[in-house]
Amino acid sequence: MLKWVWLVPVLSLAGAAINLFAGKKLGRRAGWLASALMVAAFGIALTVLNDLAKLPGNERTFILHLYDWVTVGSFRVAVDLRVDPLSVTMMLVVTGVGALIHVYSIGYMEHDPRRGRFFAFMNLFAFFMLMLVLAENFLILYLGWEGVGLCSYLLIGFWFERTIAANAAKKAFVTTRIGDTFMLIGVVLVFLRLGSLDFAKVLSQGVSSSQPSGVFTVIALLLLAGAIGKSAQVPLHVWLPDAMEGPTPVSALIHAATMVTAGVYLVARTHVFFEISGVALTVVLIVGLVTAVYAATAALGQDDFKRVLAYSTISQLGFMFFALGLKAYAAAIFLLVTHSFYKALMFLSAGSVMHALDDETDMKKMGGLIRVMPITGTVFSLGALALAGVPPLAGFFSKDQVIAAANHGGDQLAWVVALVAAFFSALYIMRMIFLTFAGRPRWQGHPYESPPVMLVPLILLAVGAVAGGLLGLSAVTGKLPAFLAPVLGEVHQPTRGMSETGLSLISVIVALLGVGGAWLVYGSGRIDWVALRVRSAGLQRFLQGGWYVDDVYSTVLVAPGKAGSAVLAYVFDAGFIDGAVNAVGRLFRALASVGRRVQTGLVRNYALAFLFGVVAIFVYVGFRL
Amino acid sequence: MKWLTLTTFLPLAGVVILLPWRGVRDDVARVVAMVVSVATFVVSLVILGRFDGSATGFQLVEQATWVRSPHLQYLMGVDGISLFMVLLTTFLMPVAILASWPVEKNVRFYMASFLFLETGMIGSFLALDLLLFFLFFEAILFPMYLIIGVWGGERRVYSAVKFFLYTMFGSAFLLVAILFLYAKSGSLPGGPTFDLRQLVHLGLSTAAARWLFLAFLVAFAVKVPLFPLHTWLPDAHTEAPTAGSVILAAILLKVGAYGLIRFNLALFPSGVEYFRTFVQVLAVIGIVYGAVVALIQTDVKRLVAYSSVSHLGFVVLGTFALTQQGMTGGVMQMINHGLSTGALFLLVGMVYDRLHTRDLFEMGGLAKGMPWLMGAFLFVALSSLGLPGLNNFVGEFLVILGTFATNRALGAIAATGVVLAAIYLLWSYQRMAHGTVPEKHANHPDLTVRESAVLAPVLALILVIGVYPKLLLDRINPTATRVVNQVVQSQTAGTGPASGTQAAGEGS
């Protein structure tokens, strides 16, 4: 089955094409078609996994050549797909979680007149995402990379009548493209320095001797810039909270489970470059840690519950980058997988709540919803507890491994900061639970539980959020780390730092402190959180505004950019350059009318006079050479 | 069969039919033009079929002495670069004519002008005799002047005159330089000639080569247009009728870029050596400058015009990188820009036909009522901003790669043009398509059958080239390599074998 892997992306592409052109005719069937294709793709992906697992560990790489894409001299790039443990893991997440989100969307988008287009874009997204993770070279990866950006643009701005959605879509595309352009230069440099863009040729340990390590630092940092943009890391994270303007299944699929993890995948895939560089690895670590803490605090200040989840995603991605920076690649991918379960779960549950409350997203107008939406409330809580790191849920194992890696890596400061971020994570996510599902109702209307087509995917995702930890019970011997070892390297038994049990205990205590803190303020009823909000309004606004990063950007970058552009266009181009041209024109017109005093054939006259003049001068100069 | 001659002059046959045919019904005139242009396209496909992709020199050469003294020849030939320029011309001309169906004013002359223009453009791409080239080159000027000046918008006369003067300014230098070359060519074995293939061997003094390079450069830089000689372009584009803008952007600008490759690079290697960085810097300024100025435009046609300045910068940058990848990418961008910007002007024209405004601030929400028209616009905008999978990406990437190999700073700055393109194209799309519809624009129809037929072939090619660029690359690459090698070899003559013709990886 390995050579049938091309079907996985192509099925999604076919679905996109059909729904784009015939989605209107298909009506309600559009969603079922798109979902069925995703389920089929997941099925094929499973057989691919099965076949791959039959091979001996060190032979688990299969490259499928489809056709030559760009060939100019020594520059050769083909459309090649790579099947190895890492790409298969990603492929399963994309098709598996993707299929569930597609099914959920059938219910969520039921009354939208443009659902054909919605599913076309969703399928197209899956296609590009699959190309991204299955790519065997940097250029096909870049194709997928830009393609998912496009679909993200189309889906954030899906309800384009709303200016705020249209703006968010453009912001997402442009912000990520800044990172992408650095990345593209990085790709160019990979070819110029290493002579190929194929992973099989350039991503081996032996590559280190071919160039000075500074070259790898530059390449790695350029690639990292792309990853920072796509995975919404500081300082290019500003697009993700705004991206919540898209339909909620989009937030779940693209802005939580898959696309935003592409940066993590990229760094993991090219970790050889980062390791040779060393410096670049430290940068990854710092970016991740800063992002994890920053976004966790910002999440604490949000009232819009989709924005809580957005900042939460940024923070969780920060944890993944942090893990990458610690060389705990398998732990990063493990966290990526479990996060895709519990965060997709939470987003989709949030979508159910919005459905029930007429698209209300303000948590101040929620509360007590567990009584009217018991299933949604339960699965959401499971997801939240998983994120908070409460054992034995999936998030406990994955996050614990990341934090433990910091301790074992010997950097105690990073470890403590990561614990702080973990504390804030538990705090903001439980605050969300208490404000939406617990306490007394503050909503109006008649909320209701979602239909089965939406609930079944939620329940399946909840299973993942609860039991996903089984994939990696131990960082060393767990199923997933062992499976990934041929690509990401063996995970060794830690030689220093605290014992695993001790670290787990500390992690659990920190998580419970966060849960308890949230309960004390928002759940116990002993503290008037509304009054608290008013008293600390300045801090509240600071956190809600995401530390005002957006405002700084618009003052420092956007506004001067616009002004500069206007000056160039109206003062320099129209005034100076074109003014000079027109002045010359007027001069010749004046000369022509004086010399000939004939007004007919205006153009011909002064053009000719001009022509002869230039000819005369040039002939004179020319023949003297 | 003399296929090159047939392709070149078939459109002129249409002119000969139409011009004397007084009182011809408008519809008949349209159909005649359509039939002639489609026939020309079919004939040009024969050239493609007979073209040997692996050969590097000129093919299907036709030669006849025209005037004995001065020794002027009718000399035509095609290589991997001119081949696609001709095909682009013959492919887009029926598209432009079909797009011109709604034109009501002097239809017979309108169509005749376009067909005359086509002969001039094809001839420019195929002529290998410098004076013959000059004649075709000048023959383009007059019909284009008429198309802008007669069928254009409100400020058409100002724009047409400006276009005419600018180009005449460049042509003057070109003519003198050609005559100078002829005067010098007496030393060649065959006696004085305008034959490009002979003139390549002319041993010019370094000073002469530099001066001549500059004269040719001015002529072609105006056409490209290269910063700062670009200010005729926004005016000409804005005022020209839709089909005029399409042909102007898609093909006329390419005559300039083509001239730089065909003549500047081939004839004056020592001039290239001297001015290369200067030209590349102008190209990079054009890339960034055109894009930044496009950011602030509110007239959508001006916006697309400035985007052309930016995109053509990539073409010149790539070709003057003098690497195999840069040259191939540059030539590919000539084709891609023709298709994408041509399509953008078609779409903008269709929007104008409905809304009667080009002001982006008077638009909005059009995606609701016209999903296909706006969808097509977005598709082309994405191609233009270099989305992988569509045509522009491959060319732009090769240009950046080829440039980076020889000059990192310029390659990196050029890459910022890609970010800026995303900003201005998506901004203009958002202004048009997103938000709420103004009351008066709520009920416009979506694409008609004719409009779909205009767009479909162009959009299809945009996708095909993006997915399978080998169709072009395999035929362009041998010629591009030859052009680069010739320049590099004659520059390094005596100093050992040519190096640096490839952006080859050092580790390979």
> Which amino acid is residue A352, in one-letter code?
S
CB distance B480 to B81 below 8 Å: yes
At residue A111, the pLDDT reads 87
In eight-state DSSP terms, residue A363 is G
pLDDT of residue B220: 94
**Would an 8 Å CB–CB cutoff place B141 in contact with chain A?**
no
Between chain A and chain B, how many beta carbons pairs sit less than 8 Å apart? Answer: 208
d(CA B160, CA A203): 57
CA distance B220 to B236: 17
Complex ipTM, two decimals?
0.91
Residue B508 CB neighbour total at 10 angstroms = 14
Q: Tell me the shortest Cα–Cα distance from A303 to chain B, in angstroms.
A: 26
Classify residue A75 as exposed, middle or buried by CB count within 10 Å of its CB (0-12, 13-18, 19+).
Answer: buried
d(CA A347, CA A454): 12
Placement of tokens 């697009």 in the chain: A239
Please state the three-class secondary structure of A150-186 as a single string. HHHHHHHCCCCCCHHHHHHHHHHHHHHHHHHHHHHHH
Give the pLDDT confidence of B303-325 residue by residue, as tens digits.
999 999 999 999 999 999 999 99
* Rounded Cα distance, A349 and A104, in Å: 10
pLDDT at A617: 55
Radius of gyration of chain B measured on its C-alpha atoms? 22
- Give the residue from A238, A513, A464, A461 showing the smallest Cα distance to A350: A461
Show the CA angle centred on residue A430, arms to residues A428 and A435, nearest 5°: 95
Give the tokens for residue A410.
């010997």
> Which residues from B are below 8 Å from A139, CB to CB?
388, 397
Say if residue A168 is exposed, middle or buried (CB neighbours under 10 Å; 0-12, 13-18, 19+): buried
* Cα distance between residue A243 and residue A220, in whole Å: 27
What mean pLDDT, rounded, does chain B reach? 90
**Using CA atoms, how far apart are residues A23 and A581, in angstroms rounded to an integer?**
53
Q: Are A250 and A168 in contact (CB under 8 A)?
A: no
Cβ atoms of B284 and B316 within 8 Å: the answer is no
- Quote the tokens at residue A533: 């909000």
A228 burial type by CB count under 10 A (0-12 exposed, 13-18 middle, 19+ buried): buried
A73, A166, A607 member nearest B165 (Cβ): A607
Percentage above 70 pLDDT, chain B: 97
AA letter at A267:
V
Query: How far does the CA of residue A608 sit from the closest CA of chain B (Å)?
Result: 9
User: CB B502: neighbour CB atoms within 10 A?
Assistant: 18
The whole-number pLDDT of residue A442 equals: 85
Q: SS in 3 state form for A471-533?
A: HHCCCCCCHHHHHHHHHHCCCCCCCCCCCHHHHHHHHHHHHHHHHHHHHHHHHCCCCCHHHHH
B393: three-class secondary structure by DSSP: helix
Q: What is the structure's pLDDT at A620?
A: 56
Residue B438: partners with Cβ closer than 8 Å, 6 or more residues away = B362, B363, B364, B365
Q: A256 or B500: which carries more pLDDT confidence?
A: A256
Joined tokens for residue A605: 């006259």
Q: Give the model's pLDDT for residue B508.
A: 35
Tokens of B440: 């008066």
| List of chain A residues whose C-beta atoms are within 8 Å of the C-beta of residue B427 | 170
Return the higher-pLDDT residue of B375 and A493. B375
Q: Report the residue of chain A nearest B396, measured CA to CA.
A: A184
Which residues in A lie closer than 8 A to residue B207 (C-beta atoms)?
A: 625
Which B residues in the span 269-308 are in contact with A, Cβ-Cβ below 8 Å? 289, 292-293, 295-297
With beta carbons less than 8 A apart as the criterion, state whether A262 and A128 touch: no
Residues 6+ apart with CB under 8 A from B61: B75, B76, B77, B128
| Among candidates B207, B293, B433 on the partner chain, residue whose Cβ is nearest the Cβ of A568 | B293
C-alpha to C-alpha distance for A12 and A131, rounded to whole angstroms: 11
pLDDT tens digits along B191-241: 888 999 889 888 888 889 999 999 999 999 999 999 888 888 998 899 999
Q: What is the distance between the alpha carbons of residues B285 and B304, in angstroms, rounded to a whole number?
A: 17
Q: Which pLDDT does position A84 carry in this prediction?
A: 93
B389 contacts A143? CB cut-off 8 A: yes
What six digits make up the tokens of B93?
Answer: 């001309």
Cα angle vertex A50, ends A47, A55, to 5°? 135
Distance CA A492, CA A494 (A): 6
CA B223, CA B139: separation in Å to the nearest integer?
Answer: 14
> Would you say B109 and B49 are in contact if contact means Cβ atoms under 8 Å apart?
no
- Burial class, A371, CB count within 10 angstroms (exposed 0-12 / middle 13-18 / buried 19+): exposed
Q: What does the block give as tokens for B318?
A: 């790539």
What pLDDT is attached to residue A216? 93
Of all residues in chain B, the percent with pLDDT exceeding 90 is 67
Question: Which residues of chain A lie closer than 8 angstroms to B228, CB-CB?
Answer: 577
What would the pLDDT profile of A327-386 be if each residue is shown by its tens digit?
999 999 999 999 999 999 999 999 999 888 888 888 888 888 888 888 999 999 999 999
Structure tokens at B436: 């709420």
| Cα–Cα distance measured from residue B443 to residue B441, given in angstroms and rounded to the nearest whole number | 6
Strand partners, B76: B62, B127
Residues of B in contact with A125 (CB under 8 A): none
pLDDT value at B496 more than 80: no
* Residue B87 burial (CB count, 10 A): 21
Instruction: Give B179's contacts in chain A (Cβ within 8 Å).
Output: 619
CA atoms within 13 A on the CB side of B246: 32
Q: What is the pLDDT of residue A604?
A: 54
B204 token code pair: 């010019």
CB A259 within 8 A of CB A227: no
Q: Are A107 and A453 in contact (CB under 8 A)?
A: yes
Decide: helix, strand or coil at residue B324.
Answer: helix
CB atoms within 10 A of CB B64: 10
With 90 as the cut, is the pLDDT of residue B31 above it? yes
Q: Which helix (H) or strand (E) holds A269?
A: helix A262-269
Q: Show the low-confidence residues of chain A (pLDDT under 50).
A: 598-601, 622, 624-625
Assigned token pair, B370 = 């016209």
Q: How far is B342 from chain A (nearest CA, A)?
A: 22
Residue A81: in which H helix or E strand, if any?
strand A75-83
What is residue A369's predicted lDDT score, i.e. its pLDDT? 86
Nearby residues of A431 by Cβ (< 8 Å), 6 or more positions away: A300, A518, A521, A522
Identify the burial level of B484 via C-beta atoms within 10 angstroms of its C-beta, where 0-12 means exposed, 13-18 middle and 19 or more buried: buried
Residue B467 Cα distances to A237, A243, B84, B390, B447, angstroms: 32, 29, 18, 7, 26
CA dihedral B308, B146, B232, B451 (to 10 degrees): -30
Spell out which residues of chain B touch residue A166, defining contact as CB-CB under 8 Å: 430, 434-435
Alpha helices in A389-451, H assignment, sequence order: 394-409, 412-436
Question: Do residues B484 and B504 make contact, with C-beta atoms less than 8 angstroms apart?
Answer: no
Q: Helices (DSSP H) in A326-359: which residue ranges?
A: 329-356
Q: What is the pLDDT of residue A498?
A: 83
Nearest of A426, A402, A424, A541 to residue A481 by alpha carbon? A402
Residues 227-266 of chain B with CB under 8 A from chain A are: 228, 231-232
User: Judging by beta carbons within 10 Å of its beta carbon (0-12, 13-18, 19+), is residue B468 exposed, middle or buried?
Assistant: middle
3-state secondary structure of B137: helix
> Chain B partners of A72 at a C-beta cutoff of 8 Å?
324-325, 328-329, 398, 473, 477
Q: Taking the CA atoms of chain A, what radius of gyration do you get in angstroms?
A: 28
Nearest chain B alpha carbon to A113: B368
Put simply, the answer to whether B426 touches A174 (Cβ < 8 Å) is yes
Distance between CA atoms of residues A139 and A143, nearest Å: 6
Minimal CA separation from B25 to chain A, in Å:
31
Specify the residue for token string 């994405």. B382
pLDDT tens digits, B53-104: 888 889 999 998 888 777 888 999 999 999 999 999 999 999 999 999 999 8
pLDDT value, residue B498: 38
